[in-house]
């Protein structure tokens, strides 16, 4: 046996001895996932990976340079899923990323990996997502439109159904506001070993310890840069009603999850 094989065996032995159960963290934007992802990846530091959001966007866009963000988005989702499955076949112990639930990943690895995720009340998630991307830090995701205009756009509608997008497992060009997507998301959430809620992070941290066999120290990361008072001023009652309409499918998924896992 050569030195490379010896090294691989030693790495595998150390992972089994010192790291927790192999885990996939499905990170829906603005659901405290950055805090969870960083905590998990630090705990699994010798064997962990993510899928860089900006890089995956630009990689997909390179193959379709003349498309808009919304036109290329299904390709971005597909690319991220393939990178996830690649990491799993490589035996990476912890993968945490903005990646959708993958039927392929689950069928091949549900006996090996634990699937975990965290949800947030959808209207609150939507508003936080908009204000985070408004003149945000990443050029590819940056928004430059008022909230009143944004809620009328295709992208604004998509922000309202991210739970359907992330959990349904349907093709990436599906209508994630459809009853089919909502029901598929509910079914797939049943496949997760730990489902948590931003509103009760302490309980989620306990679930992670029970599921993975190791403690995970979650700290608050990526705090929004827009003050709550300004948000309250900009999100008028009329706009909130519109956002509630856009989020109706996700609200149904969230309420199901609260009843089932909360």
What does 169-190 look like in DSSP terms, one character per residue? ---TTS-TTSHHHHHHHHHHHT
Structure tokens of 67?
A: 């498309």
pTM of the complete model beyond 0.75:
yes
CB neighbour class for 167 (10 Å; exposed up to 12, middle 13-18, buried from 19) = buried
pLDDT at 224: 61
Comparing 45-49, 67-71, 209-213, 232-236, the range with the smallest average pLDDT is 232-236
CATH of domain 21-261: 3.40.50.300
Residue scoring higher pLDDT (79 or 219): 79
Is the pLDDT at 13 greater than 70? The verdict is: no
> What are the tens digits of pLDDT across the range 25-74?
999 999 998 999 999 999 999 999 999 999 999 999 999 999 999 999 99
> What are the tens digits of pLDDT across the range 182-191?
999 999 999 9
pLDDT at 136: 85
> What are the tens digits of pLDDT across the range 109-134?
999 999 999 999 999 999 999 999 99
**Rounded CA gap, 259 and 235, in Å?**
28
Given CA atoms 201, 207, 210, 216 in this order, what sign does their dihedral have? negative
């Amino acid at each position: 046996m050569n030195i490379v094989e010896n090294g691989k065996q030693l790495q595998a032995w150390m992972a089994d001895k010192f790291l927790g159960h192999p885990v996939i963290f499905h990170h829906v934007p603005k659901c405290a996932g950055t805090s969870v992802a960083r905590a998990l990846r630090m705990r699994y530091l010798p064997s962990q990976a993510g899928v860089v959001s900006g890089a995956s966007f630009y990689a997909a866009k390179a193959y379709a340079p003349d498309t808009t963000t919304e036109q290329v988005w299904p390709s971005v989702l597909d690319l991220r899923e393939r990178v996830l499955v690649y990491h799993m076949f490589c035996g990476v112990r912890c993968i945490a990323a903005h990646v959708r639930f993958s039927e392929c990943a689950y069928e091949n690895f549900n006996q090996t990996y634990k699937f975990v995720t965290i949800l947030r009340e959808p209207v609150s998630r939507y508003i936080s997502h908009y204000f985070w991307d408004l003149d945000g830090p990443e050029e590819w995701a940056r928004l430059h439109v008022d909230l009143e205009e944004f809620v009328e756009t295709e992208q604004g509608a998509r922000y309202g159904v991210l739970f359907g997008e992330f959990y349904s497992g349907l093709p990436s060009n599906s209508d994630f506001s459809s009853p089919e997507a909502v029901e598929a998301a509910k079914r797939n959430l049943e496949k997760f070993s730990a489902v948590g809620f931003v509103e009760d992070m302490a309980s989620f941290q306990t679930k992670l310890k029970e599921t993975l066999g190791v403690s995970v120290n979650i700290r608050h990361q990526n705090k929004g840069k827009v003050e709550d008072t300004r948000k309250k001023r900009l999100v008028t009652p009329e706009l909130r009603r519109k956002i509630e309409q856009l989020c109706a499918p996700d609200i149904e998924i969230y309420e199901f999850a609260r009843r089932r896992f909360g």
